[in-house]
Amino acid sequence: MNDKQVKFDDIVSLSKRRGIAFPSSDIYGGFQSTWDYGYLGTEMKRNIRDLWWKNVVQERENVFGIEAAIITNPSVWDASGHVSNFTDPLVDCLDCNGRFRADHIIDNTCPECGSKSNFTDERNFNLLFKTFVGPVEDNANVAYLRPETAQGMFVNFLNYQNTIRHKIPFGIAQIGKSFRNEITPGQFIFRTREFEQMEMEFFCRPEESVKFHEFWKNERYNWYIETLMIPKDKLRIRDHGKDELSHYSDATSDIEFNFPWGWGELEGIAHRGDFDLTAHSKGSGKKLNTLDTESNTHFVPHVIEPAVGVDRILFAILCSAYDVEEIADGEKRTLLHLPAAIAAVQIAILPLSKKEELKTIAQGIATVLRKSYRVEYDETQSIGKRYRRQDEIGTPYCITVDFDSLDDNSVTIRDRDTMKQERINITALETFFKNSLGT
């Protein structure tokens, strides 16, 4: 086992041990690389969604939110090309019968058994999940679970043009579940069949589309560095070669993250051209275009799409935050250097003993701080063990209440990263956290 593998396994085991993510249907032995998020993972995913929404929607005057249905008229997926083209190349290993995505095979070697160049020919495998709507399971009632949220924005283009009181360029943004019958899900929450996407379709004039593609590449890249605090050397932008492009794309750039096994896609920023609006105009018979008021002619806008998975971001954050540090005489601590905006718990309140007078003070502090921050109160185990646990879940600050607190009305604040401790009066706590965490 190499170092990279150890780290991957460590992150997965920390996640299960502490309550970030568990195998779904755990008591039945799990199910096909699906995951349920625990109390920490749920909170962290919510923080990621909120930060994305703030950056992409709330802080911009020309991006508007949408919540579209997961199950739509199947004509949407015929017109979008997904029924015929949303495929991955599938091969079987003739030695071990494992099934793999052909474009994931390296050096013609089977990832399962290691045999060389012994695969079936490639065949296309469609990733759409099919279901039936209503009581009769026949072809007339087939519907699909959406494999991307994007089509919800395209089919609502006219509704938005008529209601938002804003001319192009404008964007429509959505956060929601998508489903793909992936050939080889795995690598924890990196690739799953049910996942959550955050996507934005930015409609613009064709002649401005290259400019806006560059614009969104930079905006999105900077967001990872400035807001999610992912170190620059763990990120890169990679432009797709022509042979890699999806059926709808004129050009795509990926923001890649250096995962424990190497570089992998974190977010795709695609130039979808007029592919989707033109396809849905044909499919629906409705004119999905916009008026150029100067020339009084209609044109089909082009679309730039930043698209990312919440689960994949969470995994990238865990990878970049995970650390094992030697603290004294061979003693080690595991910690997550999470940004405070992502950490599931921002402040832990730890009375040094279970004595009633200390509990009363500690619980009083928790009640006040809970109004503004994510707070955990914990009075079990030794203080050392409680600090280790908070380090492992990435809590930026711990407050300990001790017997001196009864006399000086002060508590100790411990910083996760430096382990420095500072004595501070209880009345100054709100100002301290306003300065360090914001409101």
Provide the minimum distance between the beta carbon of 299 and ligand ATP in the complex, in angstroms, as a whole number. 26
Select the span of 37-45, 114-122, 302-310, 402-410 touching ligand ATP (CB under 6 A). Answer: 302-310
Asked if residue 400 binds ligand ATP (CB under 6 A), the reply is no
How far apart, in whole angstroms, are the C-alpha atoms of residue 428 and residue 375? 17
Provide the minimum distance between the beta carbon of 195 and ligand ATP in the complex, in angstroms, as a whole number. 4
**Count of Cβ atoms closer than 10 Å to residue 14 Cβ:** 17
How far apart, in whole angstroms, are the C-alpha atoms of residue 149 and residue 170? 17
Name which of 9 and 103 has its Cβ closer to ligand ATP.
103
- What tokens appear for 123 in the block? 């065949």
How far apart, in whole angstroms, are the C-alpha atoms of residue 216 and residue 251? 13
Amino acid letter for position 426: I
Give which of 348, 313, 344 is closest to 227, Cα–Cα. 313
CA distances (Å), origin 153, targets 40, 173, 201, 339: 31, 8, 7, 32
Asked if residue 316 binds ligand ATP (CB under 6 A), the reply is no
Asked if residue 180 binds ligand ATP (CB under 6 A), the reply is yes
Sheet with 123-126, strands from edge to edge, namely 99-101, 87-92, 123-126
CA distances (Å), origin 129, targets 82, 88, 235, 244: 11, 14, 32, 23
Provide the minimum distance between the beta carbon of 251 and ligand ATP in the complex, in angstroms, as a whole number. 13
- Chosen residue from 100, 157, 188, 195 binding ligand ATP by CB under 6 A: 195
Select the span of 292-300, 309-317, 371-379, 399-407 touching ligand ATP (CB under 6 A). Answer: 309-317
Asked if residue 172 binds ligand ATP (CB under 6 A), the reply is no
Q: Applying CB under 6 A, what is the total number of residues that bind ligand ATP? A: 16
Name which of 190 and 377 has its Cβ closer to ligand ATP.
190
- Chosen residue from 33, 149, 192, 258 binding ligand ATP by CB under 6 A: 192
Asked if residue 308 binds ligand ATP (CB under 6 A), the reply is yes
Asked if residue 153 binds ligand ATP (CB under 6 A), the reply is no
- Chosen residue from 273, 309, 394, 396 binding ligand ATP by CB under 6 A: 309
Select the span of 22-30, 35-43, 289-297, 303-311 touching ligand ATP (CB under 6 A). Answer: 303-311
Is 98 in contact with 178 (CB distance < 8 Å)? Answer: no
Asked if residue 276 binds ligand ATP (CB under 6 A), the reply is no
Provide the minimum distance between the beta carbon of 113 and ligand ATP in the complex, in angstroms, as a whole number. 23
- Chosen residue from 43, 182, 274, 276 binding ligand ATP by CB under 6 A: 182
Asked if residue 191 binds ligand ATP (CB under 6 A), the reply is yes
**Count of Cβ atoms closer than 10 Å to residue 309 Cβ:** 23
- Chosen residue from 80, 126, 197, 320 binding ligand ATP by CB under 6 A: 197
Give one DSSP letter per residue of 266-333, joined into a string. Answer: EEEEEEEETHHHHHHHHHH-----EEETTTTEEEPPEEEEEEEEHHHHHHHHHHHHEEEEEEETTEEE
Determine phi and psi for 432, rounding to 5 degrees.
-55, -50
Name which of 180 and 414 has its Cβ closer to ligand ATP.
180
Asked if residue 307 binds ligand ATP (CB under 6 A), the reply is yes
Q: How crowded is the C-beta side of 156, counted as CA atoms within 13 Å?
A: 21
Residues at the interface with ligand ATP (CB under 6 A): 148, 180, 182, 191-192, 195, 197, 265-268, 307-309, 311-312
